[in-house]
Amino acid sequence: MTTTATIPFFPTDLFDDEREVLLELLHEVATDPEQKFILGWRTAALERAIRDSVGAADAVACGSGTSALVLVLKAFGVGPGDEVVVPAYGCAPLAAAPVLLGATPVFADVDPRTLVVDPAEVESLITERTRVVMPAHMFSTMADMPALRRIATTAGVRLLEDSAVAQGGVLGGRAAGTWGDAGVYSFVQVKTFGMPGEGGMVVTGDPALGRAVRVLRNHGQDGVRRFVHHTVGWNSRFDEVMAAFQLHRLPGFPERLERRARIGDYYAERFAHLAPLGITPPPPGRDGRCFYVYSLLAERRDELRDHLLANGVGCHAYYPAPLPHQPAFAPHADRRRDWPNARRGCERSLAIPINPRLTDAQVEHVADQVCRFAERPR
């Protein structure tokens, strides 16, 4: 029997300490003589700050991480008849973004431990119709971007790095989001650089691509002259209040990220012996790691979930089915193929709290309960 968790999976008080700041910024934007509530100087300042923090040539703020994926694919020229190789395990926008443009998502199976896309699978699925390879970092681990970069370059296709969960992650000294022709971050509240609203960011080393995304996010206008539409675009503009709030929060981002990483280090140490007992943690270390959530693979996932909830630990089982088995995307999937690792991931994955507001005592309690479950006689 389960009880209400005393340690929430995602905290409900993420921005309580900054409530007054948010109200002050709301007043500041609302009383600014410019009366510009979207795509003003604050948004431009946030774009420059994110651009410089990761060493990109450009950064373009968008209405959400999902719309950012669509805008980049459109800027790549993706449309009907094209294929985009995506992971079979992950969040719906991976498949929805190409479908919304009339393209076909081609689903690649994932690594059985990390649940990120398998580069060998990706390479085997590239055809003359492939326009883009779109890997996604997943929960605790970045995809193998060096291998995927080589595959995309060799095949002559574009590489779009879905870094929605990985902002702040680093692989081989290179920031998540900068391995591809473009990368995408999400600012939805529970992400590592989340905010109390929707938002996302495209980062790219290609200035021309950045310009194209800017036009597409604003109904095809280039920002020079209003109501002159150079192409068919979308409304994916960024809010000035949120831009001001994120500028305020950006200096504290490394500290919050470090706290998440330290919790991940502690879990890795506590769980290192559990694989033979049916619970496999993500690979240890910090290179190529994300600290959005900490996801375990458990042979008795549902029993572990019930045990944690009964002992005051919030947890979450993501994705009940692989993307090609979801009703929305099954019509676009190759029915002759199977994705066993993605299916097993849906059956075994369970995420536990890793947010920076956790106390040491709470982190210890979470680890204690995972170990207690694994070590008790079956």
Catalytic residues: 191
- Which parts of the chain are beta strand (E)? 58-62, 83-87, 104-108, 130-133, 158-162, 170-171, 174-175, 182-186, 200-204, 279-280, 294-298, 349-352
- By the 8 A CB rule, do 119 and 144 touch? yes
SS3 state of residue 216: helix
Q: What is the DSSP string of 2-17?
A: ----SB-SS-S-TTGG
Distance CA 43, CA 28 (A): 14
Name the strand (E) or helix (H) holding 65. helix 65-75
In this structure, are residues 354 and 291 in contact, taking their beta carbons and an 8 Å threshold?
A: yes
Q: What is the DSSP letter of 251?
A: G
DSSP tag of 86: E
CA distance 301 to 309: 12
List, in order, residues 6 or more apart from 162 with CB less than 8 Å away: 69, 90, 93, 94, 134, 135, 136, 137, 183, 184
CA atoms within 13 A on the CB side of 251: 2
Residue 376 is encoded by which pair of tokens?
């008790």
Look at residues 352, 366, 367, 373 and name the one whose alpha carbon lies nearest to residue 312: 366
Q: What is the separation of C-alpha 374 from the centre of its chain, rounded to a whole number of angstroms?
A: 29
Q: What angle do CA 61, 167, 284 make, to 5 degrees?
A: 170
